[in-house]
Amino acid sequence: MDLGELVAHNIKMLRHAADLSQEDLAERVGCSVRYIGLMEKGAHSPTVKMLGDVAHALNVQAFVLLLDAAPRMIANPGPRRKRATTKPKKH
């Protein structure tokens, strides 16, 4: 997967993880629904500013859109571990 495809995939997966429609994301970013669709298909390469705006709308840092494992980590972070607690021993 090249970088453009990776960014497109991450935008789509993170949008789904945030339970947002393309319309919702477009409204948050301030662009058209068509533009969001083109980015998600990899048919349009967003500018750095647009990547920042999309990341902000998805509540992630911009570099997350460039990570190979980003959607899996965010969409399925796994079970949270319970903190180990020690109970005082009764004598």
* Residue 88 maps to a domain: no
* Residue 31 maps to a domain: yes
Its domain, for residue 18, covers 3-72
* Residue 45 maps to a domain: yes
* Residue pointed to by tokens 């969409």: 75
Quote the tokens at residue 69: 């494992």
CATH of the domain at 58: 1.10.260.40
Number of domains comprising the chain: 1
Phi/psi class of residue 30: alpha, beta or left (left: φ > 0; alpha: ψ in -120 to 50)?
Answer: left
Inter-helix orientation angle 22-29/33-41, to 10°: 110
Residue 9 burial (C-beta neighbours within 10 Å; 0-12, 13-18, 19+):
middle
* Residue 86 maps to a domain: no
- Tell me the pLDDT tens digit for each residue of 24-77: 999 999 999 999 999 999 999 999 999 999 999 999 999 999 998 755 555 555
What is the model's pTM? 0.75
Give the three-class secondary structure for 53. Answer: helix
